[in-house]
Amino acid sequence: MADRKLRSNYDPGSPRWATRRAQWRALGLSDEDMEKPKIAVVNSSSDLAICYSHLDEIAKKTKEVINRAGGIGFEVRTAAPADFITSAGHRGGYILAGRDLIANDIEVAVEGALLDGMMCLASCDKTAPGQLMAAGRLNIPTIIVACGYQPCGQYRGEHCDIEDVFLSASHLAQGRITLPELAEMSDNAVWGPGVCAGMGTANSMHVACEALGMALPGATPVLANSPKMWAAVEASGRRIVEMALADLRPRHVLTPGSFANAAMVMLAVSGSINTVKHLQAVAEEAECDVDVYRLFERYADRVPLLAAVRPNGEHAIEDFEAAGGARAVMKRLEDLLDRDALTVGGRTVGEILSNAGVDDGEVIRPADRPYGRRPTIVVIRGNLAPAGGIVKLAVADDRRLQFTGPARVYESQDEALAGLRNGEIQAGDVVVLRGIGPKGSPGMGMASSLVFGLDGAGLTGQIAVVTDGQLSGLVNRGIVVGEVSPEAAGGGSLALVEDGDRISIDVLRRFVDLDVPEDELAERRARQASAPSSAERGWLSIYRRLVRPLNEGAVLAPRTERQQVR
């Protein structure tokens, strides 16, 4: 019995009490059960992708744990976008848009039923941010559980994962791999359930959940279906009941300090560039007054690179987990972090780190012996990206970091790939791929196939790419300025670029500029045709109308006065 009145409990005799009692009695609940904390087990499950194939069993056991701990678990389902599967339709527009659909699915099920808390099962790239966004919006006790990465395989004696398959597929047209060889790689890349192995968006966001304080300490990353994962499920199920009774809410955890901690951890592990916009989206939903893009800029030169996990370095994600994972990285960064930040475990970051250690000092290095001091997640600005663009660099990247060349403009990835095949793209060009941002796509199209295609053509290092689209959370090749904001469809300067215009990029000085006089740009803007009416219907048409700019997290919520929750 709760010490406080739970919001899920109605006054006996009221119509709400009577009708809900009738429904839940038919499900086998007793009157005593109906007085307990009612916890949503948020399950983004789907048969479409291996990332989700184990979640139903996890959800089942999670409910059992919650029930044993004195609560009642109710499984609710959400959309389950998977990048390598759901990206097939509408130029990949359903991927980022799926993140916001997850948040809204959760709101409908959990807020509609006035449940008392949530335990969210995080898997593929968009589930963790969507669940965090819902937690920030609803502000009811919530805990995130990372459901793990997939065991990857081998190809002819070498490590092989799904990103290797993705990259190699781009080399097929150039004859650098044969179709039977690619099929053999595909046969051996994934050996079990879970998210992509490596420090891609999924594992990066799982680690970010712990850095934010929204997952239990020591829980990320984790091998799917491992004893460690099941132990985290057990501990989290018990803890969420305690949180519901204590009314420990996400906005007590999601503070400016916790977002700074997450940004520093992402810089230290060379996480996915997608974490920047996802963390900003979570801040927006939690009404936390913080600019995540500026956090990455502020700490870029202060946080050394402490881990080099594939594909950013030679270590496997398994090595990183064995070395201590997120908690060990935070221990290395202890002097920089906000140690007063609260976590869902009820302890502060400082209290957690007081007993933490690092199990392998080569995999997770100390700050005085890092893999590198130059940031690998670089926010750059300029007249082509006044609100920011992002460059992802590799560990100890010694490639050319300045580039100036003529623009070669394309309005879609297919058009750009056709231009590559036809020999239109030449060494020295700056390829501009526009119109695939959150509003333009809509939903934000992927530009990675173009980047990998250029790599397959042997043009890496000889060309640069500027795009308002999104990129793979794992691998990029050459100088690629992604996620440019404002996007072309939102009135950004990218829409004004013409073939032959000079574009200058300097990653070290962090700018990307269009070398065209302002009066000429003003003339182009004045004669630019209005955007054609959208042909989309359904979810993507709603997304296009409501989505906010990338630097505001590309969320759908209306702009309101944000306030810092203390």
Say which residue the tokens 């199920």 belong to: 237
Contacts of residue 147, defined as CB under 8 A and 6 or more positions apart, other chains included, come to 54, 55, 58, 121, 122, 123, 194, 195, 224, 229
- Angle ∠(271,452,321) on CA atoms, nearest 5: 30
Q: Respond yes or no: is residue 30 known to be catalytic.
A: no
Q: Which of 44, 236, 448, 472 is catalytic?
A: 472
Q: Backbone phi, then psi, for 381, in 5-degree steps?
A: -130, -170
For 133-183, give the DSSP string: HHHHHH-S-EEEEE--BPPBEEETTEEE-HHHHHHHHTTTTTTSS-HHHHH
Q: Backbone phi, then psi, for 426, in 5-degree steps?
A: -120, 160
- Residue pair 331/210 in contact (Cβ under 8 Å)? The answer is no
- Residue pair 431/465 in contact (Cβ under 8 Å)? The answer is yes
- Determine the Cα–Cα distance for residues 153 and 178; give it in Å rounded to an integer: 19
Partner residues linked to 502 by β-bridges: 406
Secondary structure of residue 314 in the 3-state scheme = coil
**CA distances from residue 23 to 15, 17, 368 in whole angstroms, order as listed:** 12, 10, 61
Which amino acid, 283?
A: A
Which amino acid, 377?
A: I
Active site positions, annotated: 472
